[in-house]
A and B are shown apart, each in its own frame.
Chain A
Amino acid sequence: KAGVTQTPRYLIKTRGQQVTLSCSPISGHRSVSWYQQTPGQGLQFLFEYFSETQRNKGNFPGRFSGRQFSNSRSEMNVSTLELGDSALYLCASSFLAGGPDTQYFGPGTRLTVL
């Protein structure tokens, strides 16, 4: 089975721009979660989508948004980029929406904001 894929792997943007990241989950998985990883804050939950609906959302400003398509692929958008948005963005897929289900992470998208 193919793993979780994320595109692009690397991005360089400037302040004020917007960016869209893409995540394709493992075949059959309908839950996709997004995390931001930085050296200072660690792994922080952004949001989770299941069957095209946002189930949960972390403590991030409204500039961070996402969506999920009928094929379970998900996109994450960050508008009006700030320097502090520089991070590794990871998506993870799982079969179930909640509960103790294993999450499988993609390789991440490294976003640098200049």
Chain B
Amino acid sequence: QQPVQSPQAVILREGEDAVINCSSSKALYSVHWYRQKHGEAPVFLMILLKGGEQKGHEKISASFNEKKQQSSLYLTASQLSYSGTYFCGTEGGAQKLVFGQGTRLTINP
């Protein structure tokens, strides 16, 4: 079952904050976040593990609510370089990762 991301797209000015949400109808053991810039490969940002452990990026934080089967990615004081499409991925049983449909983030000067 594909996780659902919201919003689908967001436009910000440089310096503003953004929150991207990822919800699953299945129990989550870990949530993976990636960012993909146009024409490039997805780049790993962060893994959130059941139990609260986080591994990843210095300037981007995230939360993982196991009970609600949700994760949120927080981008604070956004920079132009944060533009791209953000994907969350969840472990999918028989699949390595099941990705959400993506959230397109545009940062304007």
Interface, chain A (partner B; CB < 8 A): 4, 31, 33, 35, 42-45, 48, 56-58, 90, 92, 98-100, 102-108
* Interface residues of chain A: helix, strand, loop or mixed (majority): strand
A45 touches B47 (CB 8 A): no
Chain B interface size band reads: 20 to 34
Cβ of A45 and Cβ of B29 under 8 Å apart? no
Q: List 20 A-B contacts (CB under 8 A).
A: A42-B101, A43-B87, A43-B99, A43-B102, A44-B99, A45-B92, A45-B97, A56-B95, A57-B94, A90-B42, A98-B96, A100-B29, A100-B30, A100-B47, A102-B47, A102-B55, A103-B96, A103-B97, A105-B43, A105-B44
Kindly list chain A residues whose C-beta atoms are within 8 Å of the C-beta of B44. 102-105
Cβ-defined contact, B42 with A43, below 8 A: yes
Please report the C-alpha to C-alpha distance between residue A33 and residue B99 in the assembled complex, in whole angstroms. Answer: 13
* Residue on A nearest B45 in the bound complex, by CB: A102
Residues A45 and B42 in contact, CB atoms below 8 Å apart: no
| Complex CA–CA separation, A105 to B29 (angstroms) | 21
- In the complex formed, the residue of A with least CB distance to B43 is A105
